[in-house]
Amino acid sequence: MEVRVSFYGSLSNHAGGRTRTVRVEGNPPTVADLRRAVARQFPEVAPHLEHTAVGMGTELFPDEAVLRTDQDISLLPPVSGG
């Protein structure tokens, strides 16, 4: 399955842009499958994934959650606002 993923913060530099297409394995694919796929396709992002959260819509989801392709999928590195 191909999904569109938005990379935020410094991850957008590592991924080469804000939004990228990621080919994800799994039936149904989970957040953990997405992490593995991103690590494969974007090696510069891989070292940062351990501390990166995965969002769908406006919620964060753990690794076991099934990907919801009807929602915006985002990768959110550690925050640094203020």
Residue type, 9: G
- Contacting range for another protein; rule: CB under 8 A; set: 22-30, 33-41, 73-81: 73-81
- Out of 15, 52, 67, 73, which residue is the one contacting another protein (CB under 8 A)? 52
In the bound state with another protein, the residue whose beta carbon lies nearer, of 37 and 77, is 77
CA separation for the pair 24, 48 (Å, rounded): 19
Show the tokens assigned to 36.
Answer: 């593995």
Question: Which single residue is written with the structure tokens 């929602």?
Answer: 71
Residue 30 sits in the site that holds another protein (CB under 8 A): no
Contacts of 68 (CB under 8 A, 6+ apart): 56, 57
In the bound state with another protein, the residue whose beta carbon lies nearer, of 23 and 44, is 44
- Out of 1, 3, 9, 32, which residue is the one contacting another protein (CB under 8 A)? 9
Residue 77 sits in the site that holds another protein (CB under 8 A): yes
In the bound state with another protein, the residue whose beta carbon lies nearer, of 70 and 79, is 79
The β-bridge relationship of strands 53-56 and 59-61 is antiparallel
